[in-house]
A and B are shown apart, each in its own frame.
Chain A
Amino acid sequence: MATLTLFAVLFGCMLIGMPIAFALGLSSLSVILFFTSDSLGSVAVKLYSDAGSHYTLLAIPFFVLSSAFLSTGGVARRIIDFAVDCVGHIRGGLAMASVLACMIFAAVSGSSPATVAAIGSIVIAGMVRQGYPKAMAAGVIANAGTLGILIPPSIVMLVYSAATEVSAARMFMAGMIPGLMMGTILMVAIYIVARRMKLQPVPFPGLGKLVISGSHAAAGLFLIVLVLGSIYGGVASPTEAASVAAVYAFLVAVIGYRDMGPLKNSPWVREGESVGQAIARAILEVPTGFVRSFWHPEVRQVVMDAAKVSLMLLFIIANAMLFAYVLTNERIPHAIAETITGWGLPAWGFLIVVNILLLIAGNFMEPSAIILIMAPILFPIAMQLGIDPVHLGVIMVVNMEIGMLTPPVGLNLFVTAGITGESIGWAIRAALPWLVLLLGFLMLITYIPEISLFLPELLDGPAKGF
């Protein structure tokens, strides 16, 4: 009865146009009020802490802010120009380059929505400018962005390791080949689609122009070096690196390129100015420009745009966690797991059920919450059936990727809708054809364990202990 109420209120509210965050919250509240003895105070405890006790989630507003500066401050335009000069002469080249960018970014970020936000806001506009259908551009990015949790580092994998005591290092290694593979599959599909749609490549501009556009984009491209470097060079955690990225993007846009902000009409070197004069002016202008930028309307607009997207995402996450809390409190996942154990399935059958279960759960809950609840339930059954724990982990992660693209709690869809300014329904339709690829990929991952296990077994030896 509680379960029925929960889902009836959720879908009812969503269908009459209530914002999804409030629909998740209100359906949770209705169950808490009518079916539990929980106090209202505890609901406030939950919401307050879910709004801000998850340090890893801070990576989202930071990366959103960073990409807002990159896309507004002329950095994105320079990167896109460079990318087009690089691969625009291949059919579908820009879309392929975008997937590659997502893969690189996935190696920087542990979260999928952050990957979509950072790359998507830059390249979707660029692809549209190159004549790609907007839906195709958005769909490709929404899907490629899910690689954020498959290519290490991955927040979701760390959560799985913590829940099951599987080595995090092994999990990270296991995600590498599947991540590269999924990226490649997407690129091949793009090439085929581009041929069939007869997307026109642009002529190769020549090496000289390539070097010039490359040097124009260098300050933007350096962000990747900076973020990767600060994580793997032992300076910062992914969340902290996200803040470094945001500060750097702000400096590049406002002080470096000066396409926006207080120094907009004040180039590094004015016409007819000597080097000495330019340096003297820079010494004065850079600090004052930095301070003035805090009051500058353009800079503030970028911050507010980033705040808008971040608020939307984080408010949904906070309410989704309340929803997950109700599911747990009602022991809905437990009941499902007990039913499955009762069926006495063989390994392959169990994996089908696991996939279906996780795909459904992915529709309603936030990945970390799903892993924390489902892994301890599924793990012992999987061990009995002789399924490798790392393999099970990768299957769960790929399912979570798909969950990022399915309504109502598909964060990548929200980010995509947010950065394109389109409706959520439009984002779903845009992502759908590419989602089919991801489903096919899930089948490969599920039934060919070697894809996941090859690298950890090669580098780390066969699993010990379990």
Chain B
Amino acid sequence: ADMTIKFSHVVAENTPKGKMARKFEELAEAAVPGLDVQVFPNSQLYDDSRVLEAMLLGDVQIAAPSLSKFQRFTNKLQVFDLPFLFDDMAAVDRFQQSEAGQSLLNSMEDKGLIGLGYLHNGMKQFSANEPILTPEDAAGKKFRIQTSDILAAQFEAVDAIPVKKPFSEVFTLLQTKAIDGAENPWSNLYSKKFFEVQDYVTESNHGVLDYLVVTSASFWNGLEPDVRDKLNKAMNEAIAYGNEQSADLAARDRQAIIDDEGTKVVQMSAEQRQAWVEAEKPVWSEFEDDIGRDLIDAALKANQ
């Protein structure tokens, strides 16, 4: 092959991200003669925290880590971590496609990374052994969070206790009730079997856990312009396909968890949700300086 692109990700082949990567391989190889796209799923090459460093060293060309992994590179992408900012996935999508959302893709170019597009994973839902409907329901409970100052603040705002633990430990900690709850999109709740060890899932849609498809600036800017255009087109098509898959999967996994007898799925009322929004607004202002007021406003505008 004249050119090799390594696409490294951390999930299985049959997930939306895995399928999106294969789709890109197919489309890009058809569009660019002599191109070999190699997809490495399941963290075979790098995990999410190291893949960006390997990319900067030029050993991986494309990856799609969670948005929260970019905290160290730019503060702006943390806008997606703000709790109860987006009403639903459609709002997230509108924001991502807006001018503000698209400008975020280039917010890390000084650190050597360029975003190629957003890939949906889904809205996060609370899970616990009791229904989490009001902010008071969460108070005093221990919730597992991913790396993020904002996620910690989100739980501290309602007097819950954020606990940071690696993904590999979460199942056991939830099963033994060392941790009371977690926040995950439907797809993670289902595929990682977290719902098996939680009695209640609240359809809270309180935050978003999307991926950013990212490439290295030196690789991307070094491409022939027509090759770059073709790859960009292939990537956009692959992401659109991945997002369809993601929506289907989220719906399917949500239904599977609803159908499961061991887990009860509960809904927040409009007032309950509003109570959460009020409780979490201080978190928005706390991080307003880091993220930028204009971005938060643009995100709120996407709610329509």
A167/B196 contact (C-beta < 8 A), A42-B59, A239-B169, A376-B13 known: yes
A237/B59 contact (C-beta < 8 A), A161-B193, A169-B193, A329-B45 known: no
* Cβ contact within 8 Å between A163 and B12: yes
* Cβ contact within 8 Å between A53 and B50: yes
Q: Kindly state the separation between the CA atoms of A344 and B171 in the bound complex, as whole angstroms.
A: 37
* Cβ contact within 8 Å between B177 and A373: no
Does B166 count as interface, using CB distance less than 8 angstroms?
yes
The 0/1 profile, CB within 8 Å of A marked 1, for residues 15-56 of chain B is 000000000000000000000000011111111011001100
Of A41, A46, A158, A325, the contact of B168 (CB 8 Å cutoff): A158
Q: Which B residues touch A425, using CB under 8 A?
A: none
**Range class of the A interface residue count:** 35 or more
A39/B57 contact (C-beta < 8 A), A169-B196, A329-B45 known: yes
Does B176 count as interface, using CB distance less than 8 angstroms?
yes
Q: Kindly state the separation between the CA atoms of A46 and B46 in the bound complex, as whole angstroms.
A: 8
Q: Kindly state the separation between the CA atoms of A202 and B173 in the bound complex, as whole angstroms.
A: 44
* Cβ contact within 8 Å between A42 and B57: yes
* Cβ contact within 8 Å between B49 and A237: no
Of A163, A239, A325, the contact of B42 (CB 8 Å cutoff): A163
Whole-angstrom distance between the Cβ of B164 and the nearest chain A Cβ: 11
Does B293 count as interface, using CB distance less than 8 angstroms?
no
Does B172 count as interface, using CB distance less than 8 angstroms?
yes
Does B282 count as interface, using CB distance less than 8 angstroms?
no
* Cβ contact within 8 Å between A158 and B45: no
Complex interface residues of chain A between 230 and 286 (CB less than 8 A to chain B): 231-239
* Cβ contact within 8 Å between B177 and A55: no
Q: Which A residues touch B165, using CB under 8 A?
A: 55, 237
**Range class of the B interface residue count:** 20 to 34
Q: Which B residues touch A165, using CB under 8 A?
A: 12, 14, 191
A41/B57 contact (C-beta < 8 A), A55-B169, A329-B45, A372-B44 known: yes
Whole-angstrom distance between the Cβ of B89 and the nearest chain A Cβ: 23
Q: Which B residues touch A234, using CB under 8 A?
A: 176-178
* Cβ contact within 8 Å between A158 and B171: yes
Q: Which A residues touch B169, using CB under 8 A?
A: 55-56, 237, 239
* Cβ contact within 8 Å between A372 and B43: yes
* Cβ contact within 8 Å between A238 and B47: no
Majority DSSP secondary structure for residues of B touching A: loop
Whole-angstrom distance between the Cβ of B59 and the nearest chain A Cβ: 4
Whole-angstrom distance between the Cβ of B177 and the nearest chain A Cβ: 4
* Cβ contact within 8 Å between B178 and A235: yes
Whole-angstrom distance between the Cβ of A105 and the nearest chain B Cβ: 17
Does A456 count as interface, using CB distance less than 8 angstroms?
no
Does B301 count as interface, using CB distance less than 8 angstroms?
no
A168/B193 contact (C-beta < 8 A), A42-B57, A49-B50 known: yes
Q: Kindly state the separation between the CA atoms of A189 and B126 in the bound complex, as whole angstroms.
A: 51
Whole-angstrom distance between the Cβ of A395 and the nearest chain B Cβ: 19
* Cβ contact within 8 Å between A238 and B172: yes
Does B292 count as interface, using CB distance less than 8 angstroms?
no
Does B140 count as interface, using CB distance less than 8 angstroms?
no
The 0/1 profile, CB within 8 Å of B marked 1, for residues 39-65 of chain A is 101100110010001111000000000
* Cβ contact within 8 Å between B50 and A45: yes
Q: Kindly state the separation between the CA atoms of A236 and B165 in the bound complex, as whole angstroms.
A: 11
Whole-angstrom distance between the Cβ of A50 and the nearest chain B Cβ: 9
Of B44, B57, B168, the contact of A55 (CB 8 Å cutoff): B168
Q: Which B residues touch A162, using CB under 8 A?
A: 192
State the A residues within 8 Å of B (CB): 38-39, 41-42, 45-46, 49, 53-56, 153, 155, 158, 161-165, 167-169, 231-239, 325, 328-329, 372-373, 376
24 contacts between A and B (CB under 8 A): A41-B59, A42-B59, A45-B50, A45-B53, A46-B46, A49-B47, A49-B49, A53-B49, A54-B168, A55-B165, A55-B168, A56-B166, A155-B168, A163-B12, A165-B191, A231-B176, A232-B176, A233-B176, A237-B176, A238-B172, A328-B44, A329-B45, A376-B12, A376-B41
Which 3 pairs from chain A and chain B are nearest by CB? A234-B177, A42-B59, A41-B57
State the B residues within 8 Å of A (CB): 12-14, 40-47, 49-50, 53-54, 57-59, 165-166, 168-169, 171-173, 175-178, 191-193, 196-197
New A-B contacts (6) at CB < 8 Å, excluding given A42-B54, A237-B178? A45-B54, A53-B47, A55-B166, A56-B166, A167-B196, A231-B172
